[in-house]
Each structure stands twice: as structure tokens, then as C-alpha cells.
Structure 1
Amino acid sequence: MDRLEAMRMLLAVIDAGSISAGSRKLNAPLPSVSRKVAELERHLGANLIVRTSRNLQLTDAGRDYVDAARKIMADLEEAERRASGEYQTPRGVLTITMPIEYGSRYVLPVALSFMDKYPEVSLNLLSLDRMVDLVSE
């Protein structure tokens, strides 16, 4: 049994609220999802969810397992991002606000070399001689 796949299916079922909704979310056949969750429960020797015709309820063991599975899946995604180099090259938008005189004298020369070194970062420089409300502006 692929436990990571079973965890992923269990989390989709729990997040969606039912096995059928989880199977739609995963674009997987309903019997496959139901079987994987049942296999996981057999492997663990514990019931994780109580199935009724209207909804699912996590057991105490299920709550603990789902919490641990979420952490494992998050750690796995983080490891994959690191391995793919996502964190090695800075990307995105950097906005800097500064007084006009300070910006032209000190920040602009550094900003130009920064842009050469990190071409995947968009740099927005805002030179103002007033207080700036960063949230609203």
C-alpha cells in the first residue's frame, strides 16, 4: 500500500466532507478512494472515520492521524520545493519606500546592482518626502 497516496486520499475526503466529494475532488473513482481509506484503516488497525449516510466524523485516532498526515504532506511539499530550487533564486516583487534624497544617494546605486544580480525580482522604488501608510498605499 502506498501510504502517502492513502494519506492524500484521506485528507481529500476529510476536507471535502464525504468520500464521494473527496473522489470528485481527486478526480478518482469512488470505489478506489473508499478502498484506499479502508486499507489505511486496516493497516493502522484503527478506525479513522465513522461513516454515516449523511456525513463523516473523525474518531479520536482519526483526528490525531489527520493532524500528523497534514504535517507530513506539508513537509513533503516543502522538501520538494527545496529540491526543485524554488528557494534558491529570489523571485517576486520588492517595494521600497524612502525619502527622495536618501533614495537617490544611497538606495538607487544598490538597487541597480541588486537588479543585475536578481533579475527575477521586480523592484518598485517609491521616493517620497512624507510619511507613508504601507497598508493603504
Structure 2
Amino acid sequence: MASKNILKDWFKTGLYPTQSQFWEWMESYWHKDDIIPQAKIQNLKTDLDNKAEKAALGAHATDANAHADLFAKAATPYRFLPVFPTTDTSELQIEELKNATLNAVMYLGQIDMNVIQLDPVTGTLSNWDFRANTQYIILYTKR
């Protein structure tokens, strides 16, 4: 198979590539209808070997203690609380949130600071559709 530089030389302005040169050029590239063999994709096996398995990632996502050591090292006035509702609900009553100020709720890679409401007397979060088996990280400060 010809290198890119050789292929370029065949197609310089004013030159007339031969049929075999043209075919060589066409065979040098993957056509959009070609199926590319996995063995030809650079680092595919290594990348697949290093990926997280779906079950392990799912278990990690629902682990209330995931990254607790990292959260403990964070210097912040905020407290954090991992919450896992067991059923879909529009309200969550959480004892630790009594006499607290809600700062943020993190979930599924998003942060909400304006929609979810906290009743600091009862510790109830509301105004949201909390999903079962979804981890929410509640950032709050005590009054």
C-alpha cells in the first residue's frame, strides 16, 4: 500500500494518475460503507479492557459511601449527605436537614440550587420529582 506522500505525488496538478494508481488511492482509505475490523482500531482492546463494567459502575453509583474519603478531605463549610430514595417521591424528609440551610443538590451529574425547597423545621425537601435508586448529594449548612 502506498504512503500518503506517494499518493499525493500521483495527483499533483497537471499529472494524470493511471487507473492502477487511482485504485491504489481508493483502496488506501476506509469507505463509509466498509466495516472496519476491530483489530484495526488503535488501542480499542486496551481501552475496552480498562473500562468499568456496567454492574460495577451501577454498584458504585448507588453506594452511599462512594468517595466518602474524598468528601471528608474537602475543606468546606458545607456538609454533604448522600440520599437514596427507595421510591419515586415529590418530598423527602431527612432528619439531618432540620435547622439547616440548603445550598445545593447534586444528582446525575447536575447541580440544582434553585428549584428544590427545604423546610428547615421538618427537614423536608420538596418541589422536585425524586427518583428511586438515584443518588442525590445534599449540600447544606447547619444554622
TM-score bracket relative to the smaller structure: under 0.3
Please tell me whether Structure 1 or Structure 2 has the larger radius of gyration of its CA atoms: 2
TM-score, structure 2 normalization: 0.20
In proportion to residue count, which structure has more strand? Answer: 2
* Structure number with higher helix proportion: 1
Q: Which one has more relative contact order, counting CA pairs under 8 Å at least 6 apart?
A: 2
